[in-house]
Amino acid sequence: MNYLAQRSSNISTFSAIAINYSTLTGLSNNTLITASSINVSTIFDSTMTVANINYSTLYVSSITTQSIICSTLIGSTISTSIGNYSTITASSLNIINSSATTINTSSSFTTSSINAQTDVVAQGIYLTPSPTTSSIIIQYIQNVVNTITASGSSPFWQGTYTYQTIGTIPTAPGNAAGAYQGGVLLPNGNVVFVPYYVTNILIYNPNTNTTFFASGTASGIYDYSSGILLPNGTILCIPYNVSSIGIYNPNTNAFTTLIPNGISVSANNRNYFGGVLLPNGNALFIPYNVTNIGIYNYITTTLTSGPSISGSGGINNYYSGGVLLSNGNVILVPFSATSIGIYNSTNNTFSTTGTSPGVGAYSGGVLLPNGNVVFIPYNATSIGIYNPNTDIFTTITPSGISIPTAAYRGGVLLPDGNIICIPFAATFALIYNYITGIFTSSGSFVGGNAYAGGILLPNGNVVFIPFTATSINILATNMPAPRDMCLSPYFNKF
Alpha helices in 19-158 (DSSP H): 134-144
pLDDT in the model for residue 168: 79
CA distance 467 to 464: 9
Segment 212-233 mean pLDDT: 95
Task: State the total domains in the chain.
Answer: 2
For residues 49 and 188, state if they share a domain: no
For residues 101 and 149, state if they share a domain: no
Last residue of a domain, one of 99, 115, 131: 115
SS3 content of the chain, % helix, strand, coil (to 5): 5, 45, 50
3-class DSSP state of 47 = coil
Phi and psi at residue 121, to the nearest 5°: -60, -40
Q: Which residue has the higher pLDDT, 221 or 462?
A: 462
Residue 299 in any domain: the answer is yes
Segment 227-243 mean pLDDT: 97
For residues 103 and 180, state if they share a domain: no
Tens-place pLDDT, residues 346-383: 999 999 999 999 999 999 999 999 999 999 999 999 99
Alpha helices in 185-268 (DSSP H): none
Residue 156 in any domain: the answer is yes
The pTM of the full predicted model, rounded to 2 decimals, is 0.79
For residues 318 and 454, state if they share a domain: yes
| Residue of 10, 400, 416, 454 whose CA lies nearest to 193 | 454
For residues 69 and 152, state if they share a domain: no
CA distance 190 to 202: 10
| Residue of 237, 240, 236 whose CA lies nearest to 223 | 240
On the question of pLDDT at 226 being above 50, the answer is: yes
CA distance 399 to 248: 43
Pick the range with the lowest mean pLDDT from 148-162, 273-287, 304-318, 440-454. 148-162
For residues 111 and 153, state if they share a domain: no
Q: Per-residue DSSP letters for 352-419?
A: EES----SS-EEEEEE-TTS-EEEEESS-SSEEEEETTTTEEEEEPPTT----TT-EEEEEE-TTS-E
Residue 493 in any domain: the answer is no
Per-residue CA distances from 431 to 375, 401, 414, 441, 472 (Å) = 13, 11, 10, 6, 19
Tens-place pLDDT, residues 435-493: 989 999 999 999 999 999 999 999 999 999 999 999 999 999 989 999 999 999 999 99
Q: Which domain holds residue 451?
A: 144-487
Residue 121 in any domain: the answer is no
On the question of pLDDT at 42 being above 80, the answer is: no
Give the list of residues 6+ apart from residue 91 with CB closer than 8 angstroms, or none: 71, 72, 111, 112, 113
Residue 125 in any domain: the answer is no
Strands 52-79 and 37-45 come out as: parallel
For residues 296 and 334, state if they share a domain: yes
| Residue of 274, 252, 191, 161 whose CA lies nearest to 466 | 191
For residues 107 and 164, state if they share a domain: no
Conformation bin of residue 345: beta by default, left when phi > 0, alpha when psi is -120 to 50? alpha
How many Cβ atoms sit within 10 Å of the Cβ of residue 28?
12
Alpha helices in 426-470 (DSSP H): none
CA distance 198 to 171: 8
For residues 60 and 176, state if they share a domain: no
CA distance 46 to 25: 10
Residue 445 in any domain: the answer is yes
3-class DSSP state of 136 = helix
Give the list of residues 6+ apart from residue 370 with CB closer than 8 angstroms, or none: 138, 142, 434
Give burial (CB, 10 Å; 0-12/13-18/19+) of 211.
middle
* CATH number of the domain encompassing residue 192: 2.130.10.10
Average pLDDT of the chain? 83
Segment 26-34 mean pLDDT: 44
